[in-house]
Amino acid sequence: MTNTRTDDANRPAGDIAPPSGNDDERTTLVGFLDYLRDAVARKALGAPDAEARAAGAPSGTSLLGLVKHLTGVELNWFVWGYAGEGDPADHNAPVTADESAETLVAAYRAAAARANEVIAKSPDLDTPGIRSVRPGMAPASLRWILVHMIEETARHAGHADILREQIDGTTGR
């Protein structure tokens, strides 16, 4: 995941800190989203494969399923909806036998990097996207999409925290 904040220049890859308290709005929003993306990716890596694939809740939610879901959501909101590029992603596709934590996290990071490219190209946060991801809703502004994606990713990062703790007791970032 792309992290361009100067305070993170000496941090190892995959160890993204939240934004400082004095950044501009775009940097703050993208910074929090990158921080949450990193938290989700880190929860998925290193978990035993069978347990990371298994449903950890009655809804069928699994750790790897969350990563795959968020990959599709990133692509849908930023690339397909906002930029108007490509085809919509199936954000509810099941994890397949040939997908590993490493390949799913790599795809998630690639989707986040692509989303950050779209964000960087937008002239301002008020510009609406090309199309709406939600039926009946007008195309959202980049600001709305960023706040929505922070909310969505934070919610699923919390789910990932609980699932990983249930798998092997790992807590924290």
Tokens of 66: 């969350």
In contact, 70 and 156? CB cutoff 8 Å: yes
Helix (H, G, I), strand (E, B) or coil at 128: strand
d(CA 166, CA 56): 8
| Positions of the chain with pLDDT under 70 | 1-14, 173
- Complete domains list, the chain, with CATH: 21-168 (1.20.120.450)
Question: Which string of b and e fits 32-61 if b means at least 16 CB within 10 Å?
Answer: bbbbbbbbbbbbbeebeeebbbbebeeeeb
CA quadruple 106, 107, 110, 112: dihedral, nearest 10: -110
What's the pLDDT score for residue 30?
A: 98
What's the pLDDT score for residue 53?
A: 97
User: Which amino acid, residue 116?
Assistant: N
Predicted model pTM? 0.90
Q: Where are the alpha helices (DSSP H) in 17-141?
A: 25-44, 49-53, 63-74, 101-121
What's the pLDDT score for residue 3?
A: 39
What's the pLDDT score for residue 13?
A: 52
